[in-house]
Amino acid sequence: MQIALLKATALFYLVGAVLYLYFIFTLTERGARVGRMFLLIGVVLHGAGFVARYFAAGYTPITSLFESLSFSAFAIVCVFLGFELRYNLRVLGAFVAPLAFFFSLVAAFLPGEVRTLAPALNSYWLPVHVILLFFGNAVFAVAFGAAIMYLMMEKQLKRKKLGAIFKRLPSLDVLDEINYRCLTIGFPLLTLGIITGSIWAEYAWGSYWSWDPKEVWSLITWFLYAALLHGRLTVGWRGRKAAILAIAGFCAVLFTFLGVNLLLPGLHTYTNLAG
């Protein structure tokens, strides 16, 4: 049932993403409103599937590639809807919803059978550590979308050739504010995720830090966002520089999440596509 729910969820995310793209190309408000409705239905279905899998598995289902991609898509949509409610920034859906659709689509076609949990993963730290990191990643995904929009807007303004998309995008100040707000939310979540992971590692493997590839890349990602936050607070990094670093940071997030697990051998490696 969980896989069927996930496939239905992916369909709702797809329609939602298409409607947000329709909105950005036509400025038809109805497209954004209906797109939001599809994302809301999708995230409710997604949550129901997550709960169903939790009771079927007997543990928080965020341990395999299938479960991780699925939960990432869920977190991205939840965070986006929160930001849309706060900033009324419908256009952001055209940049974020496709990512949630892609993650849920890939997850829907991976082996999704419930497996016996490895002893090291059987810990109360599992949901705390992973949920903190995944919601932090979702906030950085929203910052990524805002940064892309910032660079598009700035390019049009510099060329003094305001294309049709100019009318769809918010002001540079609003985009920069969203970028900063995401940083102030995502960075503490990332920090707490790393700290809780270290505590869990000490319980599971007897060491707070073992320089596993996942730990190393998490630290690299943390330094990138720490540098961005430090630059904003002390030397006034704003605008274009902040947008570029937000994009670079999210690339590091994606590699830490997927690249490390799939390509680099270590304690967090997905040994096959089933996780």
Q: Which residue do the tokens 């599992």 mark?
A: 126
Q: What is the pLDDT of residue 99?
A: 92
| 137 pLDDT above the threshold of 90 | yes
Spatial CA neighbour of 275 closest among 19, 68, 127: 68
Report, as an integer, the average pLDDT of 96-108. 91
> For 65-75, what is the mean pLDDT?
92
pLDDT reported for residue 273: 47
Q: How confident is the model at residue 255 (pLDDT cuts 50, 70, 90)?
A: very high
The string of pLDDT tens digits covering residues 185-204 is 999 999 999 999 999 888 88
Specify the higher pLDDT residue, 192 or 206. 192
The answer to whether the CB of 79 falls within 8 A of the CB of 142 is: yes
pLDDT at 270 over 60: no
According to the model, what pLDDT value does residue 116 have? 79
- Contact by Cβ (8 Å): 225, 183: yes
Other C-beta atoms within 10 Å of 132: how many?
Answer: 20
Task: Give yes or no for residue 272 having a pLDDT over 60.
Answer: no
Residue 28, pLDDT > 90, answer no
Whether 109 shows a pLDDT value over 80: the answer reads yes
Round the average pLDDT of the chain to a whole number and report it. Answer: 87
Q: How many other CB atoms are found less than 10 A from the CB of residue 210? A: 14
* 75 compared with 2, residue with greater pLDDT: 75
Kindly state the DSSP code that residue 5 receives in the 8-state scheme.
Answer: H
- For residue 204, the tally of other CB atoms under 10 A from its CB is 18
Beta strands per DSSP E along the chain: none
- Looking at residue 207, the DSSP 8-state letter turns out to be -
Residue 189: predicted pLDDT: 97
Mean pLDDT score, 249-264: 87
Tell me what percent of the residues of the chain surpass a pLDDT of 70. Answer: 93
What is the predicted pLDDT for the residue at 158?
Answer: 80
Residues 6 or more apart from 202 whose CB is under 8 A from it?
208
The fraction of the chain above a pLDDT of 90, given in percent, is 47
Whether the predicted pLDDT of 157 surpasses 70: yes
